[in-house]
Amino acid sequence: MAQIPVVRTRPSLTPALLALLAMAVVALGALWLVQPEPEPDLPPAEPAPEGFLDGAAGFAVQVDDLAIPYDTFAVTALPGDTLRLEALFVADAQAGASDGTLAEAGPRTWRWAAPETPGLARIEVTSAEDETISLHAFTLVPFDHESDAIGDYRIGDYEDEPMDGNPAYEEPPGFVRVTRELADVDVAPHFELGQFLAKQESDWPKYLVLSPELLLKLERVLYAVNEAGVEAHTLTVLSGYRTPAYNAAIGNETTYSRHLYGDAADVFVDADGDGVMDDVTGDGAVTEADAEWLAAVVEDLADQPWYAPFVGGLGIYGPAPHRGPFVHVDTRGEPVRW
């Protein structure tokens, strides 16, 4: 990728204030959505479990209303749309972008205008302490839903009206274009773009919708799995994004599945790479109890005050002839259990 031009900003925070703020974002303690009032409750700042590299940066970058505490993360924008970026918990920072237009908008603050051509740009924000957060910024392919496909890739039909008027169920305005090469791009420290593709058969490129809130939730779940003593460096995504066409083809009758909106994933722990859930309970068998164990890890997080932005569905699925047990998680905004 071409050298990234740098846009510098001026310091504005006092060292004393920085010290107080930095205490809040050590390791994974900064997993939250930024809200102006009131101050959000934060996860406790704890060392990462032994042997687990959590990917946490020493500061955070707020992208619009989302705070990102990781050294690698994905964001999206429609062509020509603008994202506001602000470096948090640092006295000074500089930023650069490989594509699009990046302009200073204040101390440690920039505005990035997405290019008109869909694709991947890299935005790097570097603190005065020389720590860097790399944002993989995907410019979306706009979609007006007048057709049921993008090129040769079948999308299907979304419902015209959001369920119960909830804007979370509005038709996606655009899709990430995924080439064979982009499938390996990191969208979070422990997850790659290709993990979330629909399983439908098609040639490249493929397309998907992917929620950053889901990625933040999965990273925190993975951290908790390791904290509980089960070593894993990712969660296997059995099913991430689904097109409406694929969702119907596999027999799902609901037309409002959260998988269609990019903020749901069916996941399991598979550290040994055999394609099914590991025996995380240690009872010598892979059963529904292992899915229940993983669901309990998620449920423990849901009891924390900082968890509000990640509230959503949690489902437990036992083994079947064609697969092992797994759990469903999403960020629909209301707690649902099955």
Do 72 and 133 sit in the same domain of this protein? Answer: yes
User: Scanning the structure block, which residue is given the tokens 């919708």?
Assistant: 209
Task: Give dist(CA 323, CA 238) in Å, integer.
Answer: 9
Do 277 and 213 sit in the same domain of this protein? Answer: yes
Do 126 and 215 sit in the same domain of this protein? Answer: no
Kindly state whether residue 200 falls inside one of the protein's structural domains.
no
Kindly state whether residue 195 falls inside one of the protein's structural domains.
no
Kindly state whether residue 17 falls inside one of the protein's structural domains.
yes
3-state DSSP call for residue 102?
A: strand
Do 235 and 122 sit in the same domain of this protein? Answer: no
Residues pairing with 87 in the sheet: 61
User: Scanning the structure block, which residue is given the tokens 């470096």?
Assistant: 87
Kindly state whether residue 130 falls inside one of the protein's structural domains.
yes
Task: Give dist(CA 183, CA 187) in Å, integer.
Answer: 10
Is residue 42 left, alpha or beta, with left meaning phi > 0 and alpha meaning psi from -120 to 50?
Answer: beta
Summarised one tens digit per residue, pLDDT across range 202-239 is 999 999 999 999 999 999 999 999 999 999 999 999 99
Give the pLDDT score at 48: 62
Kindly state whether residue 192 falls inside one of the protein's structural domains.
no
Do 171 and 109 sit in the same domain of this protein? Answer: no
Do 10 and 116 sit in the same domain of this protein? Answer: yes
- Which residues have C-beta within 8 Å of that of residue 74, sequence separation ≥ 6? 135, 136, 137, 138, 185, 186, 187, 188, 193, 210, 212, 215
Do 71 and 153 sit in the same domain of this protein? Answer: no
Kindly report the CATH number assigned to the domain that includes residue 337.
3.30.1380.10
Q: What angle is formed at CA 250 by the lines to CA 248 and CA 253, rounded to 5 degrees?
A: 45
Do 157 and 303 sit in the same domain of this protein? Answer: yes
Structure tokens at 190: 């422990």
Residue type, 136: H
Is residue 213 left, alpha or beta, with left meaning phi > 0 and alpha meaning psi from -120 to 50?
Answer: alpha
Give the pLDDT score at 19: 36
Do 65 and 113 sit in the same domain of this protein? Answer: yes
What pTM, to 2 d.p., does this model score?
Answer: 0.87
Question: By C-alpha distance, which of 214, 203, 216, 221 is closest to 239?
Answer: 214
Residue type, 133: I
Structure tokens at 296: 């309990």
Q: Which of 115, 139, 163 is the last residue of a domain?
A: 139
Summarised one tens digit per residue, pLDDT across range 45-64 is 455 677 789 999 999 999 99
Predicted confidence band of residue 96 (pLDDT cuts 50, 70, 90)? very high
Q: Which of 139, 159, 184 is the last residue of a domain?
A: 139
Question: What's the whole-number mean pLDDT along residues 59-82?
Answer: 97
Summarised one tens digit per residue, pLDDT across range 106-163 is 999 999 999 999 999 999 999 999 999 999 999 999 999 999 999 999 999 999 999 9
Give the pLDDT score at 191: 99
Q: What range does the domain containing 311 cover?
A: 148-175+208-338
Pairing of strands 149-150, 153-154: antiparallel
Task: Give dist(CA 69, CA 31) in Å, integer.
Answer: 7
Statement: residue 188 has pLDDT above 70: yes
Kindly state whether residue 268 falls inside one of the protein's structural domains.
yes
Give the pLDDT score at 127: 97
Predicted confidence band of residue 4 (pLDDT cuts 50, 70, 90)? low
**Total domain count, the chain:** 2
Do 61 and 132 sit in the same domain of this protein? Answer: yes
Q: What angle is formed at CA 213 by the lines to CA 65 and CA 233, rounded to 5 degrees?
A: 130
Pairing of strands 141-142, 174-178: antiparallel
Q: Which helix (H) or strand (E) holds 297?
A: helix 288-302
Do 157 and 90 sit in the same domain of this protein? Answer: no
Do 297 and 160 sit in the same domain of this protein? Answer: yes
Kindly state whether residue 167 falls inside one of the protein's structural domains.
yes
Summarised one tens digit per residue, pLDDT across range 292-303 is 999 999 999 988
CA atoms in the 13 A half-sphere facing the CB of 274: 8
Q: Which of 80, 113, 139 is the last residue of a domain?
A: 139
Kindly state whether residue 182 falls inside one of the protein's structural domains.
no
Task: Give dist(CA 147, CA 18) in Å, integer.
Answer: 51
Summarised one tens digit per residue, pLDDT across range 106-117 is 999 999 999 999
